[in-house]
Amino acid sequence: MNKISKNYIWIIVAVVVVGGGIILLSRGGDNTPNNSSSNNLYPEQSITHGHGLAVDVADPNKLYIATHHGLLVLMNEKDLYRIGRSKDDYMGFSPHPTEANVFFSSGHPSTGGNIGFQKSEDGGVTWKKISNGTNGPVDFHAMAVSPVNPNLVYGWFQGNLQRSTDQGKTWEIVNRDLLPVYLAADTKDENIVYAATPRGQGVMMSRDKGATWTSLSPALEGGAISVIAIHPQDSKILLTFSEKLGGLGKSTDGGTTWKKVAEGFNGETILHIAFSRSTPNIVYALTHENKLYKSMDAGDTWTQIRFLSTSL
């Protein structure tokens, strides 16, 4: 069994079965900021593990990382900050596709329990609970907001895929069979949504807003998938991290065929991929060991830019 296969087994089992994932890196204690900030940014040196990744709508040099202890932002690939004072665990995190200061999240409060579905309108400094979801308060471990229609939101909780058409105010269960570790909505067609699955189904695709699902490509079947991402301007360009492919794969024909990207990422599993909307060929990837990579050519070549560990 190769290193990638072993990584998939223990990472995917932890995410799906255990539910909360596993702490991969220590933050070295509570790490409470010892200096206040007028712009609500507090310096950080490390993270535990990332639950979400998003590039700022207008600035490709501003990268948001939703973590086990709050929402962080990496500025210019150098300076790492926690946004606001919240240290909640954002298991689900999605940005608004056009409004830079609007985010959506779900997960666990630092005090315990489930958050439900919430929204921030000030760049993640403060959050307002929108709803409990169905059979909640929910804790969406996989969540996606449609880039085409931001009122359309998906979340997976306790074996059920939920869908909202009013930006999280009300929810309905649309599928009880899907087991996703990652959800991504198409960037051109609001009816299409993708799911990365851990049990050999590969990438699943829905053309009816999550109600029914079919396999995207036989080339990905038979192995676990940790993430799927769609190019903001060309929805035929897809990136996925696949056990069957042996690493990161790229498709330029909507998922019909795949080519393995040469970068090996040191044998680590990519858990999150985020394209820049303002500069679409810029894309970031975060591995399970919190190593951050950047591509300037839509995923063909990669450079490690940051190791978000306690060794910084």
Q: Above 90 in pLDDT, residue 308?
A: no
At residue 149, the pLDDT reads 98
At residue 48, the pLDDT reads 73
Please give the model's pTM, rounded to 2 decimal places: 0.88
- Which distant-in-sequence residues (6+ apart) come within 8 Å of 29 by Cβ? none
At residue 208, the pLDDT reads 98
Work out the average pLDDT over 238-266. Answer: 95
Q: What is the pLDDT of residues 142-178, one digit of tens each?
A: 999 999 999 999 999 999 999 999 999 999 999 999 9
Q: Above 90 in pLDDT, residue 311?
A: no
At residue 16, the pLDDT reads 46
Cis peptide before 60 (omega within 30 of 0): no
Positive/negative CA dihedral, 282, 181, 251, 292: positive
Positive/negative CA dihedral, 207, 210, 211, 214: positive
Positive/negative CA dihedral, 278, 71, 202, 305: positive
At residue 29, the pLDDT reads 33
With cut-offs at 50, 70 and 90, classify the pLDDT of residue 47.
confident
At residue 7, the pLDDT reads 54
Q: Above 50 in pLDDT, residue 21?
A: no
- Per-domain residue ranges of the chain: 3-26+40-48+138-307
Work out the average pLDDT over 88-95. Answer: 94
Which helix H or strand E contains 249, and what residues bound it?
Answer: strand 247-251
Answer yes or no: CATH 2.130.10.10 is held by domain 3-26+40-48+138-307.
Answer: yes
- Which distant-in-sequence residues (6+ apart) come within 8 Å of 34 by Cβ? none
**Does 38 or 109 have the greater pLDDT score?**
109
